[in-house]
Structure formats: structure tokens, C-alpha cells
Amino acid sequence: MTTDVKPSSRERLLEAAATLTYREGVNIGIEALCKAAGVSKRSMYQLFAGKDELLAASLERRASAYVAGLLPAADDGRAARDRIAHVFERVTSQSADPEFRGCPYLSAEIELKDPDHPASRVARQVKADLTSFFRAEAEQGGAGDPDFLARQLTLVFDGASARAGIGAEHLDGFLAPTVAILLDAAGVR
Amino acid sequence: MTTDVKPSSRERLLEAAATLTYREGVNIGIEALCKAAGVSKRSMYQLFAGKDELLAASLERRASAYVAGLLPAADDGRAARDRIAHVFERVTSQSADPEFRGCPYLSAEIELKDPDHPASRVARQVKADLTSFFRAEAEQGGAGDPDFLARQLTLVFDGASARAGIGAEHLDGFLAPTVAILLDAAGVR
DNA sequence: AGTGATGTACACCGATCGGTTTTCTTTTTT
DNA sequence: AAAAAAGAAAACCGATCGGTGTACATCACT
């Protein structure tokens, strides 16, 4: 048996923090996090320096899975335009889940309101990575101004997840054609 | 003298609530709000049923001023396209203020995470009003699908204010051309 | 001057916050 | 089996949360 039946305390804490802060917001209490993780507060404070660091670590841990769930495979042979569209198809399908509350990294930055908070730094980096992906694909796709297009796509990504996350917009059949307009205008074929 | 030297307790509370929740988030304490307003807690609880209602009332009070600061004059004789662009010029110039933290109504909805919260209802209505404005102008401007365009513009509005609000994007020279692309694609001349 | 309303100041309520300490039990190591 | 390390449970810390109760000052209206 190579798979543990029960993840480590550290992993359970990170998982609980990711789940609960996403659902309830970053103001969720330490007590609730530890209870959900089945870990004592004492142990939590031996594993993490404090709430801020736990929060940052939980966002960071999720980052690779989050980005992986959004981005297409590194080289799937598809055209840049399709690879960009893939990201927006993913967020569209994610938004169909009633538990969807928008991009956790955007929410964290908005809720924290402190760019120096460790979790804000992690969130910023995740967004920067997404923009970098867009920029690379835009370049690959022959966009007239790849940087400009990448920023537009990130803006649309955040706007779409924010609005879908608060239940104000329904992305299916809406987001893809909107993105297509920007890709067309940028000369990505 | 028709102007009071000192606004009423109610007005000072609404003002303080608007300012502090925008700067610090909706989790700001009642104590801090009352202290900033120079009003006792006792008086606050005679004027408002509780924190939720104070918060909702403060968002509502700001709503007309917020929308008025964004929208062009009711009939300024300009073309629909210019009237739509006006809104994005306004948010662009607002975002230059270092105190800018994005649209307070979007932030409130994201932070509260409860669509039934009185303040969420107010915020939702403000956004619906903005979308209505876009839709009316889109129709006036001859958009092929006015509703579709209005939703796109609201999405861009929220994405732009969110990203500018967390300091991730700088709207000047970026937002206007992005909106222009959508207007062009929708056939608004 | 007397009276009631309004409002401030402040102690107080139970609950919870982030964080620490102590005690006891479980697990691991030897 | 004995010893040692780890962790869970829970009390506890001071501070703050939303909200109340009480006492005292200020005001307008007769």
C-alpha cells in the first residue's frame, strides 16, 4: 500500500483552509479550520507560524492544481487560439457548479485588501502566471500586441469569474463569443 | 443659513460606514464605525436595526452618487457610443486615485458571500442599474444584440475595477480601446 | 423651572478572535 | 515492555465581536 488512508495533518489543514476560506471568506476562524481538519490548534501552530501563513500556504498548495485545471496540456498540438479558448471553457464549466464562488485568488486579494499579506503575494503570482500564459499564446498565435491581448484576457477572466461567482452572470454561451471578439481584434487566428 | 454645519448622526454613520467598509472591508467593527462617526453605539442601534442594515443603508445612500459619478448626464446630446465610453473614462480616472479599491458594490458582494444579505441586495441592484444603462444605450446605438453587449460591458467594468482595485492593472490607455473593440464588434457606431 | 426626548459615555453581556499553555492519550521507537 | 516523541483536548490569555443596559448630560418645548 503506497497510498496513505489518511493524509497528514499538514495536508488536511491546507485542504480545510482552502475549502473553508473559499466558501466562507478569509475571515473564517482558526478554530473552525482546525476542527474541520481534525487537527488541534496546538499542532497547527507547530506546523504554521500563524493564520496568515496557513492561508498563504493553502493558496499556494492549490495554485498548481488550479492552474493545471485551467490551462491546456503543455503541448497538445492545438493552435494558440484554441489553447486560449480552453481556459475560458474551463472557467465556464467550473461556474456551472453551484459551489463556484469565483476565482479564489481574486477573492482573496479583494478580501484581504493588503498587498503585503503573504496570501496576497501568492494570489498575485498565480494571476501573473495566468497572464504570462496568455501572453505566450498570444505571441504564438500572431497577435499584433500580445501583451495588450494578454491583459485583456486576464481582465475578462477576472470579470467573468467574479460575476459568475456572485451569481450575477451565467457564462455558458456568453464568455466564449466575447473572448472570440478580442482574439479576432488582436489578429489571432 | 440653510446648510447645517454638522450632518445628522444618521448621515455621519452612513458616511463613516461607506468610507471604512470600502477601505477596510465589511468586517470592520461596529465600534470603529461609531467612533469614526462620532456617534455612540446606543444611538446607532436606535437609528439602525443592526450592522447589516447599517451596511445596506450606507451602500444604498452612496448608490445614487456612485451611479451619478459614473453615468453621463441624462440627455447630453452625445451619441450612445460616447455615452458608454464615458462610464469607462470615469472608472479609469477614479482608478488613478491611490485610495481606489475597485467598485464597492462588487467588493461587498464578494466579501459578504451571502446573496440574501441586505447589503448584497443593494449591491446587486446597483449593478443591475448599470447593466440597464448599458443596454439602453446599446439599443440606442444600434447594437446587433443590445443585451449581449450590455452584459459584456458590465463584465469588463467589473473586471477592470477589480483588477485596478487590487493594483494588478492600470486602466489608462488600456480600458478605452478594449471597450472600443466590443462596441465595434456589436455594431455600435 | 419642569418635563420628556435625544444622545453620549461606559460598563457589561456571551461569543469569538488569534494564539498559548497544560494535561492527557496515542503512537512510535528502542 | 519501557521510554520518548507526537498529537488531541481543553482550559486559558487578552482583545474584540455584535449588541444591551444604565447613568448622566443636553436639548426643545411648555
For the segment B135-179, what is each residue's pLDDT rounded down to a tens digit? 999 999 999 999 999 999 999 999 999 999 999 999 999 999 999
Is residue B27 a part of any domain in this protein? no
With beta carbons less than 8 A apart as the criterion, state whether B78 and B84 touch. no
Q: Does any CB of chain A come closer than 8 Å to the CB of residue B151?
A: yes
> How open is the CA angle B52-B26-B5, to the nearest 5 degrees?
80
List the nucleotides on chain D closer than 7 A to a protein CB.
7-11, 16-23
Long-range CB contacts (< 8 A, 24+ apart) of B97-102?
B99/B23, B100/B164, B100/B165, B101/A113, B101/B22, B101/B23, B101/B165, B102/A110, B102/B161, B102/B162, B102/B164, B102/B165, B102/B166
Point out the residue among A162, A174, A181 whose CB comes nearest to the CB of B110: A162
Is residue B15 a part of any domain in this protein? no
The answer to whether the Cβ–Cβ distance between B24 and A169 falls below 8 Å is no
Q: Does any CB of chain A come closer than 8 Å to the CB of residue B159?
A: yes
Is residue A33 a part of any domain in this protein? yes
Is residue A1 a part of any domain in this protein? no
Is residue A174 a part of any domain in this protein? yes
The answer to whether the Cβ–Cβ distance between B184 and A182 falls below 8 Å is no
Separation of CA A112 and C1' C6 in angstroms? 39
Mean pLDDT of B69-94: 96
What is the number of domains present in chain A?
1
Q: Does any CB of chain B come closer than 8 Å to the CB of residue A129?
A: no
Confidence of residue B1 (pLDDT cuts 50, 70, 90): very low
Q: Which CATH number fits the domain that encloses residue B176? A: 1.10.357.10
Is residue A17 a part of any domain in this protein? yes
Cα–Cα dist B149/B188, whole Å:
10
What pLDDT was estimated at residue B8? 85
What pLDDT was estimated at residue B6? 67
B 24-83: CB within 7 Å of strand D: 27-32, 41-42, 45, 50-52
Is residue B136 a part of any domain in this protein? yes
CA B182 vs. chain centroid, Å, equals: 22
With beta carbons less than 8 A apart as the criterion, state whether A151 and A131 touch. yes
Dump pLDDT digits (tens) for B7-48. Answer: 888 999 999 999 999 999 999 999 999 999 999 999 999 999
Burial degree of A1 (CB within 10 A; 0-12, 13-18, 19+): exposed
Task: Tell me which residue range forms the domain holding B101.
Answer: 56-186
Q: Which residues of A touch B184 (CB under 8 A)?
A: 185
Report, as ranges of residue numbers, the positions in chain A whose pLDDT lies below 50. 1-4
What pLDDT was estimated at residue A5? 61
